[in-house]
Amino acid sequence: MGHYRPIAGHGLIGDLQTAALVSSHGVIDWFAAPRFDSPGVFTVLLDHDGGGYFQLAPERSEGTWRQLYYPDTAVLVTRFMSPDGVGEIVDYMPVLPGPTASGRHQLVRVARTVGTSRRH
């Protein structure tokens, strides 16, 4: 059980048809498409040895990580602060127009540097 991140350490993004779980360290641990009950695309949350994942992270892992949602949205921000600087990953899934279920989904990830240390 030591390999698995607690479910409470995840944010949820979705588009009303499917969803993804993003760990507090910016890793998409679970994502099923095109629907919630479809086979998983990323499933490391359930299978540490064989499940895939999508990770965006700094080269060095030391530092502090925080997650928050932009107010009144389902846009998730994962921010990391390290001795080298501050960065963030913004994750969301836009809801596509139309009254019926679709096989089309977008998982958007934006990574950016917010600040760097003066040592570099």
Decide if 25 is inside a domain: yes
Its domain, for residue 35, covers: 7-116
Distance (Å, whole) CA 36 – CA 13: 12
Query: What's the whole-model pTM score?
Result: 0.85
- Walk along the chain (120 residues) in steps of 10 and give the mean pLDDT of each run: 74 93 92 86 81 82 90 95 89 85 86 75
Decide if 1 is inside a domain: no
Decide if 67 is inside a domain: yes
- Point out which residues pair with 69 in neighbouring strands: 76
Distance (Å, whole) CA 5 – CA 29: 9
Decide if 36 is inside a domain: yes
Decide if 2 is inside a domain: no
